[in-house]
Structure 1
Amino acid sequence: MKDSCNRTIDYIRISVTDRCNLRCLYCMPEEGIAPLRHEDILTYQEIVRICEASARLGIRKVKVTGGEPLVRKDIEVLIKELAQIPGIEDVTMTTNGCLLKEKAAELKAAGLSSVNVSLDTLDPQRFARITRRDSFDSVMEGIKSAQAAGLKVKINCAVMEDLTKEEVLAFARFSMERKIPVRFIEMMPIGQGKNYKAMENDDLAGILSEAFGALKESRKVKGNGPAVYYTWGDETGFIGFISAVSHKFCRTCNRVRLTSDGFLKLCLDSPAGVDIKGPLREGISDDGLFDLMNQTIRNKPESHHFEEDQGETGPNMNQIGG
């Protein structure tokens, strides 16, 4: 479908929980956040209905997120149902990878095509500082299991100011050795993320080109989002940049988000959207749900305003849907 800015909206990110087994510095305070009550989050049946309406609207790609989606019981059951919806062409997931070793084969069998694993460092000690948990080995085992199961794997690295040149190069070598694309994601001023600044992606590119030679844009790596991928030399490694703040991509934004408590959110940097859980539980028809989502998505904001002072910290990413 098209919104009022003539953008094709074909991608929905669905948060299935606000709970997480890590406490990353830029995402949650150390003490955590009081989680939603179980009855306040969408049921799998409600999520499937929303995705069926989404498919009628022309949405073709679904990303399952959290919080941490793998902490929700029987998540593979939901994946299977989503993958079977007529019109949905790709179901993927973003995860911290801690539980991926146990779940990878089931997720692949259910119809999941790929996982994006959030991993901000390859240094176990720095990992423990960032996540406030000692789970580095579990994440690495999860990545291996995902590849062995036949899932496509990408790494998401949230760029914080203390990311060193050595770590940037370590991720490049990791990409070359494991044949896994690594995406550097610019820190966004959302929730706890407002407390951190990021190394500019242009500086990251400079570090890579100095070590490996001139970078060249690559179209070999495809995704559902805004990452621009680069490679070098013999093209064994791939680095992606997602620069929502310094290089706005709003004019090509193709996504909406569904929070775990049923709010259809049109932009990370806007309150625009509509509650869907209420109408669902009040008995809205399938056609009524289609109309509600259609009218709402058409009014997707033209742009975010991360470059402006946002004032208060606001909700954290685990509450919005990462």
Structure 2
Amino acid sequence: MDTFQNTIPFVDISRPSIEEPVQSLTDKFGRRFEYLRLSITDVCNFSCQYCLPDGYQCNTSREFLNQDELLMVVKAFAQMGTKKVRITGGEPSLRKDLVDIIRQTAQVDGIEQVAITTNGFKLEKDIDAWVDAGLSSLNVSVDSLDARQFEMITGDGRLQSILRGVDKAIQHGLQVKLNAVLLKSLADHQLPMFLNYVKHNNLTLRFIELMQTGDNKAYFDAEHVRGEEIEARLAELGWVRKTKAQWAGPAKVYRHHDYEGRIGLIMPYSKDFCADCNRLRISSLGKLHLCLFAEKGLDLRELINKSIKQHAPQLLVEEIRALMGQKHATHYLDEGYAGATQHLAMLGG
């Protein structure tokens, strides 16, 4: 009897011993989506020249997804293999319940990375609480390291506080990225300043090509500069491209042996930019955007609440899978098409 018992392993039949494998979310082009950008507000308190030059205009519903709705969205996407959730706005730190949103997102089974994109105006004060809640990655929009130019671009004068917040985030061990929109009028002056900054700071500075949206055509025509120009200058200075990290976005990232930090380039007008797309977007009003520049958002809010009432994320999962058939191969930006995106604050980029 002892011999028999020793050869048969004990199996606890009170619960499954092996979890069912997650079926990845894919589209008809074979792209796999493990990254969700989740907007929690479209309100922003900055007035960036390329996004909201006249400031935020309260001309849409402000009945943003509540915590229960946001949690249901994350649970549904986690069931489809999503590993990374980025909380965006507008400016997400304008939500008083941001810490709770970070915490509940981080606690969902299957979610391995919780990130946030912010303009940084609350960063110095709130970064400790965000980290305690489960934040693992941080993107901060810093379009200039010159205080005067920063205020000219954003309409805000808190650059030094934002940079102190960035320092605190690095000390916490977060993955930190600074985002700077490439502007033709500032490109020559900005690059040396940013290179000097990343020399001794362990973060990634990402230059993002200015994108045309529904309300910025004149500004786009005047200020757009191709990222390939910066890429060529980096090559001349000895920068070498890194291998893309898991769940990474579309940036090409470069490193240099003399620099602690890295330089990234996001070039949406470059060839095959959409070939390895890996993210979907949910707006603060509960619309699924299959692309930042999709023709329209696909309203999921009624189904989100039905899923909550029935405790059935699978309802939402099935609908999202069905809607993936509408995703296009590319964004058509190079043809001057901006879709429903009037400004980037609508979806946090």
- TM-score, with normalisation over the residues of structure 2? 0.85
Aligned-residue Cα RMSD (Å) equals 2.1
Please name the residue that 2:109 is paired with.
86
**Identity in percent:** 33
Alignment partners' CA distance in 1, 2:332 and 2:244: 31
Measured after TM superposition, the shift of residue 314 of structure 1 is: 5.1
Could you tell me which amino acid in structure 2 is paired with residue 204 of structure 1?
Answer: I
The match for 2:209 is: 186
The Cα shift of 1:36 comes to: 4.4
Question: What count of residue pairs does the alignment treat as equivalent?
Answer: 319
- Tell me if 1:6 matches 2:33: no
For residues 170 and 81 of structure 1, what CA distance do their matches in structure 2 show? Answer: 38
Distance 1:147 1:233 in 2: 20
Determine if the alignment matches structure 1 residue 230 to structure 2 residue 254. yes
The CA deviation at 1:26 is 0.8
Counterpart in 1 of 2:188?
165
2:168 alignment counterpart: 145
| Structure 1 residue 63, shift from structure 2 partner | 0.5
Corresponding residue for residue 64 of structure 2: 41
Tell me which amino acid in the other structure corresponds to 1:294: R
1:106 corresponds in structure 2 to 129
CA drift of 1:242 comes to 0.7
Separation of aligned partners in 2, 1:232 and 1:223: 23
CA shift for structure 1 position 207: 3.2
The partner residue of 1:257 within 281, 297, 305 is 281
Flag the 1:130–1:248 CA change in 2: closer, same or farther, 3 A.
farther
The amino acid across from 2:84 in the alignment is: K
Once residues 261 and 344 of structure 2 are traced to their aligned partners in structure 1, the CA distance between those partners, rounded to angstroms, is 29
CA distance in 2, matches of 1:256, 1:312: 15
2:293–2:340 Cα contact (<8 Å) kept: no
Query: Given that residues 10 and 255 in structure 1 are in contact (C-alpha distance below 8 angstroms), is that contact kept between their aligned partners in structure 2?
Result: yes
Shift in CA distance, 67/292, structure 1 to aligned 2, threshold 3 Å: same
Gaps of 5+ in 2: 1-24
SS of residue in 2 equivalent to 1:153:
strand
Partner SS, residue 23 of structure 1: coil
Q: Distance in 1 between matches of 2:176 and 2:129?
A: 15
Aligned with residue 64 of structure 1, among 53, 78, 87:
87
Within the candidate set 213, 216, 240, 2:264 is matched to 240
Would you say the 8 A contact 1:48–1:82 is kept in 2? yes
CA spacing shift, 1:54–1:106, aligned 2, 3 Å? same
Contact kept? 1:165, 1:207, Cα under 8 Å: no
Output one character per residue of 1:186-219: Cα deviation in whole Å (capped at 9) or x when no partner: 1111244432232222211333344xx3221123
Change (3 A) 1:105 1:198: same
Kindly indicate whether residue 42 of structure 2 is the aligned counterpart of residue 15 of structure 1.
Answer: no
Going from structure 1 to structure 2, the CA distance change for 1:87 and 1:183 (only over 3 Å counts) comes to: same
Deviations 1:88-124 (A, max 9, x none): 1111111111111111111111111010111111111
Query: Structure 1 residue 180: deviation in Å?
Result: 1.6
Aligned to 1:300: 327
Moved more, 307-316 or 172-181: 307-316
What secondary structure sits across from 1:203 in the alignment? helix
- Is the alpha carbon distance of 1:31 and 1:186 closer, same or farther for their aligned partners in structure 2, counting shifts above 3 Å? closer
Shift of 1:235: 4.5
SS in 1 for 2:170: helix
DSSP-derived class of the 1:185 partner:
strand
In 2, the alpha carbon distance for the partners of 1:209 and 1:304 equals 28
Change (3 A) 1:50 1:249: same
AA in 1 matched with 2:234: L
- Number of the residue aligned with 2:153: 130
| Partner-residue secondary structure (3-state), 2:269 | coil
Query: Which residue of 2 is the match for residue 207 of structure 1?
Result: 233
Shift in CA distance, 220/8, structure 1 to aligned 2, threshold 3 Å: closer
Question: Mean alpha-carbon deviation: is it higher for 137-146 or for 201-210?
Answer: 201-210
Where structure 1 has 5 or more consecutive residues not aligned to the other structure, the ranges are: none
Q: What CA distance in whole angstroms lies between the structure 1 residues aligned with 2:77 and 2:332?
A: 27
Query: Residue 31 of structure 2 aligns to a residue in which SS?
Result: coil
- Larger-Rg structure: 2
1:301 to partner: Cα distance: 1.4
Following the alignment from structure 1 to structure 2, what is the Cα–Cα distance between the partners of residues 272 and 166?
38
* 1:32, distance to aligned residue in structure 2 (A): 2.5
- Secondary structure in 1 matching 2:38: strand
Secondary structure of the residue that 1:33 maps to in structure 2?
Answer: coil
